[in-house]
Amino acid sequence: MNDHFTVLAIFEYSSEAQITKAKLDSEGIKTMLADEKTIDTDPLLSQAIGGVKLLVHKKDLEIATEIYNNIRRYRKDENGNDIHCPKCQSTKILMAPPDRKNIFYMLFPFFEKSKHMCNNCQTIF
């Protein structure tokens, strides 16, 4: 990976990453995707390799983050209702990155239960 780029977001499928990349590109932000072709050839590898990474140039990170936070979709519960952060009551809830400290979850990542993370206060619950 180029040292001038940093990860802005991680997506399960490349189609999601392409949509966000197109928006950022239209705003004049330098972007690129990592692991896109690997996941396109075998989508079941997405969780194992950590998804498609959307990279932005470090000088554009602040504006790219602002744009991305305005267009991204946030998590809902099984009934389609907003999930609220227990700490700050925000509805800007994301899927938390996997913990994978246990060797079992490293070998079988699909058994790990997903957690939520607040995009405002970074609380994981």
> What's the chain's average pLDDT?
87
Q: Average pLDDT, stretch 43-65?
A: 89
Q: Average pLDDT, stretch 45-62?
A: 89
Q: CA–CA separation, 36 vs 40, rounded Å? A: 6
Burial class (CB in 10 A: 0-12, 13-18, 19+), 98: middle
Percentages of the chain per state (helix, strand, coil), in multiples of 5: 40, 20, 40
How confident is the model at residue 105, as a pLDDT? 73
CB 28 within 8 A of CB 63: no
Structure confidence at residue 55 as a pLDDT band (50, 70, 90): very high
CB 90 within 8 A of CB 121: yes
Q: Average pLDDT, stretch 44-63?
A: 89
Which position has the token pair 């990155």? 97
Instruction: Map out the domains of the chain as residue ranges.
Output: 5-71, 73-125
